[in-house]
Structures are given as C-alpha cells and as structure tokens.
Amino acid sequence: MRRGRIATITMAVVALTMGTATAAVPVVWTNLVDAIPIGPNNNGLQKNAGCDGCAAGGNSQQSFASGDGYVEFTANENTTNGRFVGLSDVATHDYTLIKWSIKLGAGTIAEVRESNNYRTETTYTANTVLVSSARSIR
C-alpha cells in the first residue's frame, strides 16, 4: 500500500449563534482515523497514514442542538482531491452522511453539498478560509 498524500486543514472553529450572540471555539478533534491534530490550538487536522484515496479524518467534540452554527476552516493547499469538511448530526467518517459540507477538489473547485447532493460551487486557492453553516438546527 502506498502512503497517502498529506492533506491538511487548519484553524478549524465551530460556532453557535443563539439570538444575537455568537461564540466560536477551536475544534477539539475526537474519533481520529489516520489523522493527527496540528497547529497552535491543535484545531487543524492532517492525514498522516493510509493509502491514496483512503479516508482519514475526525469528528469535533463540540456540538450544538439548536440555533444556527458553522464550521470555519482554512484549506492549506489545493492539490489533494476529495476533502470534505462540514456539519452533521452523526459522528462518522462517511462523507455521504455529512449534512452540510464543502468538498475540496484538487485544483480550484470547492463544491457546496447538502446531504452529499451538489448544490453549487466556488473557487478557492491555498490558504482560503471557508465556512459551512446550518441555520435553525432542531
């Protein structure tokens, strides 16, 4: 088996908005598979094992049951295909179960997805800050 390419995200934060107050906190990673936390607050995530095309990732320890929320992260590079970051109500590494996600492709395309269904896309470059959000979660 070949070792997979190194894919990273950094500066991941999760935020919850209740009324007019918003509180963003650094992600605390749990349920890691072939990935390690990186960065000053360990709120980045880097693939460190597995083959090319093999899944790697983690789930955030933070959650919110109601209100609006988002996850914000920096895509450190744009050479790795198939990174998914988003919000879900299940702790899984299965990208098809992420309710609101951004799929980062190799090159410059970031796809916006809802329940893994394509909605729209935008462009990104290395070090772009991206946000996946959900409104009125119940």
**Total domain count, the chain:** 1
At residue 21, φ and ψ (nearest 5 deg) are -95, 135
> Mean pLDDT over residues 64-76, rounded?
79
- Share of the chain residues as helix, strand and coil, in percent rounded to the nearest 5: 0, 55, 45
116: closest CA among 103, 129, 107, 133? 103
| DSSP 8-state symbol, 127 | T
Whether the Cβ atoms of residue 106 and residue 78 lie closer than 8 Å to each other? yes
Q: Which domain holds residue 65?
A: 8-137
Query: Do the domain assignments include residue 87?
Result: yes
Query: Do the domain assignments include residue 3?
Result: no
Per-residue pLDDT for 1 more than 80?
no
Query: Do the domain assignments include residue 1?
Result: no
Over its C-alpha atoms, the chain yields an Rg (Å, rounded) of 14
**3-15 tens-digit pLDDT:** 334 455 555 555 5
Query: Do the domain assignments include residue 2?
Result: no
Per-residue pLDDT for 2 more than 60?
no
Query: Do the domain assignments include residue 43?
Result: yes
Whether the Cβ atoms of residue 100 and residue 30 lie closer than 8 Å to each other? no
| DSSP 8-state symbol, 26 | E
Query: Do the domain assignments include residue 62?
Result: yes
The pLDDT, as a whole number, for residue 46 is 85
105: closest CA among 93, 97, 114, 113? 113
The letter for the amino acid at 59 is N
Residue 75: band (very low, low, confident or very high) from pLDDT cuts 50, 70, 90 = confident
Whole-prediction pTM value?
A: 0.78
Query: Do the domain assignments include residue 71?
Result: yes
The letter for the amino acid at 38 is I
7: closest CA among 58, 76, 98? 76
**30-66 tens-digit pLDDT:** 899 998 988 888 888 888 888 877 788 888 888 776 6
Lowest mean pLDDT among 56-65, 98-107, 120-129: 56-65
Query: Do the domain assignments include residue 70?
Result: yes
